[in-house]
Amino acid sequence: CSTSKKGSPLPPSGKVIIIGAGAAGLSAAYLLRKKQIEVIVLEASDTYGGRIESVKGFTDFTIPVGAEWLHTREPVLANIVADPTVKLDVQTTAYDFEVDYGLDAETGQIVNHKSICFSEKDLRFTNTSWLDFYEHYILPSIQDTIQYQKVVNTIDYTQDQVVVRTEDEAFTADRGIVTVPVPILKAGDIEFVPPLPEKKQTAIQDLRLY
């Protein structure tokens, strides 16, 4: 979200509000801060990460309980870090279709990964997790920008600055980036002023969630 001046560049002293501290929000904050742009991240819960959760202490390795796989090529991790001087200590492995399988959440039946278009190019972490990756490479430089338990209910981008409101606070910036889960947008929990263009509203409502 930005002002009505479409295509106008962010001023050198510009400020950006990011709504949501999941993977997308953390990545956006990290990349903007690398450009020396002031950012504020508003997170509705009391922690970061969104769907990239994990359990530690149950055994001697991290157990992902949220997003686990990389359904893309491995260099995506280097692209997220965006710093060639940083050496990534991340090990991954591909699907083994002889032993890896999924379960249908509704029927409980075993699902072959190939039947849902997964491929040998899809990878999973072996020595870490998505959450560990973000905690190690992304979070340290932006942790101070995150404000927790800030439930956004209105985004007003009619004026020169974007105004983001919670129940009892208002935050202003030159731009706003919305990274909340799609179900929140589907439910209309955040009011946009003016409303999002009809094309975007239709795309949100038509998006199938798995």
Q: What is the residue-level pLDDT of the chain in tens, covering all 210 positions? A: 655 455 677 877 799 999 999 999 999 999 999 999 999 999 999 999 998 887 777 777 777 777 777 877 667 899 999 999 999 998 888 877 777 777 777 788 887 766 666 666 778 888 788 999 999 999 999 999 999 999 999 999 999 899 999 999 999 999 999 999 999 999 999 999 999 999 999 999 998 765
Strands (E), the chain: 15-19, 38-42, 54-55, 63-64, 69-70, 92-94, 102-103, 110-111, 123-125, 146-147, 154-156, 162-165, 170-173, 175-178, 191-193
Report the pLDDT value the prediction gives residue 37, as an integer from 0 to 100: 95
10 Å CB burial of residue 142 (0-12, 13-18, 19+) is buried
- DSSP code of 10? P
Which contacts qualify for 110-114: CB closer than 8 Å, 24 or more apart? none
First to last CA, the chain: 27
**C-alpha atoms less than 13 angstroms from C-alpha of 74 in its C-beta half-sphere:** 13
Alpha helix segments (H runs only) across the chain = 23-34, 76-81, 130-133, 182-187, 198-206
Report the pLDDT value the prediction gives residue 98, as an integer from 0 to 100: 73
3 state SS of 174: coil
Report the pLDDT value the prediction gives residue 115, as an integer from 0 to 100: 65
Contacts of 193 (CB under 8 A, 6+ apart): 154, 155, 156, 157, 158
Report the pLDDT value the prediction gives residue 74, as an integer from 0 to 100: 62
